[in-house]
Amino acid sequence: MKLAVYNVENLFDRAKAMNLDTWEQGRPVLEKFAKLNELLGQIDYSAADKSRMAELMAELGLEKSDTGPFVLLRRNRGGLLRRPRDGGILIEANGRADWVGSLELRDEPVNEHAMRNTARVMMDLDADVLGVVEAESRPVLAAFNTEILPALGGTPLRHVMLIDGNDERGIDVGLMSREGYPIGRMRSHVDDRLANGQTIFSRDCPEFEVTTPSGARLVILVNHFKSKGYGSTASSNARRRAQAARVAEIYRELSENGVEHVAIMGDFNDTPGSAPLAPLLDDTDLKDIFEHPAFDDDGWPGTYDLCNASNKIDYILLSPSLFDRVQAGGVFRKGMWPGSRPRRWEPYDEVGRKQDAGSDHAAIWADIDI
């Protein structure tokens, strides 16, 4: 069985604020969007809340219209605000129940070269079971599978599963598998919460039970932990540590219930040896595929951007029974921008510019005799 994971960074459409040349360019927009959404969701609005809402709306380009360069304010009913003729924004609602609508990030189509290169990676991986990170939705993932892969000469995978997560930006996690590797029982952890009521997972941590042609059963958990992109360092680290601890707890529960074959994979947004990932990497018997003697990193230790050691943020973790059955493993980077002066690896011919890359992430794979 060839098992792989790939952060596709969206397939057809991506939030405009996340589709700029660098993450830092979009970070202020995402931070303001998150704060404004938090304020708009409150039951009651204080005078200070209203003032801050108006400031954030202006900063997001909503002073004259409900459509800004990166966000869209939908007002279906009720009176949230008015815009005086002499300028500015006045919040008239006194709480969330006074208006019906939502604040949304505006999307734009993914570069067509990037879309094709994403498909090429999925085709060339030729995985039997593929974990997907940052897909818009199940219908989108299914359409990409049945329309784009065949258009480029690929074979669609038989099973496509994705459960909506907690992130409203359309960057969810799912699983695809070939004929002979049916996906059976699924369990979502989208509503797992901390003691303070906060949801643990930024997206979800779904469990997928997969049966191999030999009849072996394994449980696969696909993850996308909190990024370092926005929010304070302390809060981001605490969120990732809580996520890692919960995944470790789920793994122990599976082991205690007799599940021998477990794979945990995805974009963990932190490096080996980091404190936030310690509950998962140090406090369990899970093994990182990078540590297997048959694994080849092709000379670069990372999985993101230029693939330095500090860019090692994508993982396939295996229970001891699976790790012992690994026959080979590696990192697939042909869909990534290789840098210049000199190139670090040979990309697809269509990766002529950084924005043409299928993703900023490499795909990771493991051949397992099961």
Q: Are residues 87 and 172 in the same domain?
A: no
Q: Are residues 43 and 62 in the same domain?
A: yes
Q: Are residues 340 and 267 in the same domain?
A: yes
Cα 141 from Cα 196, distance rounded (Å): 34
- Comparing CA positions, the residue from 99, 31, 110 lying closest to residue 71 is 31
For 263, the enclosing helix (H) or strand (E) is: strand 262-267
Q: How confident is the model at residue 300 (pLDDT cuts 50, 70, 90)?
A: very high
pLDDT (average), residues 151-158: 96
pLDDT tens digits, 307-330: 999 999 999 999 999 999 999 999
Q: Are residues 244 and 344 in the same domain?
A: yes
For 138, the enclosing helix (H) or strand (E) is: helix 138-143
Q: How confident is the model at residue 20 (pLDDT cuts 50, 70, 90)?
A: confident
pLDDT tens digits, 38-62: 999 999 999 999 999 999 999 999 9
- Residue 202 · residue 243 · CB < 8 Å: yes
Cα 60 from Cα 34, distance rounded (Å): 11
Per DSSP, what are the bridge partners of residue 328?
A: 367
Give, in order, the Cα–Cα distances in Å from 363 to each of 24, 272, 280.
23, 17, 21
- Comparing CA positions, the residue from 84, 60, 55, 90 lying closest to residue 73 is 60
The range of the structural domain enclosing residue 63 comes to 23-107
State which of 62, 90, 107 marks the end of a domain. 107
Q: Are residues 89 and 173 in the same domain?
A: no
Q: Is the pLDDT of residue 368 over 90?
A: yes
Q: Are residues 100 and 140 in the same domain?
A: no
Q: Are residues 66 and 126 in the same domain?
A: no
Q: Are residues 99 and 168 in the same domain?
A: no
Q: Are residues 240 and 288 in the same domain?
A: yes
Q: Are residues 72 and 119 in the same domain?
A: no
Number of other residues whose CB lies within 10 A of the CB of residue 275: 12
Number of C-alpha atoms within 13 angstroms, CB side, residue 145?
A: 22
Q: Are residues 93 and 159 in the same domain?
A: no
Q: Identify the CATH number of the domain in which residue 252 sits.
A: 3.60.10.10
Q: Are residues 340 and 234 in the same domain?
A: yes
Give the position of tokens 């969810």.
Answer: 172
State which of 92, 107, 122 marks the end of a domain. 107
Q: How confident is the model at residue 26 (pLDDT cuts 50, 70, 90)?
A: confident
Can you give the length of the chain in residues? 370
pLDDT for position 369: 97
- Number of domains making up the chain: 2
State which of 107, 138, 168 marks the end of a domain. 107
Cα 129 from Cα 10, distance rounded (Å): 19
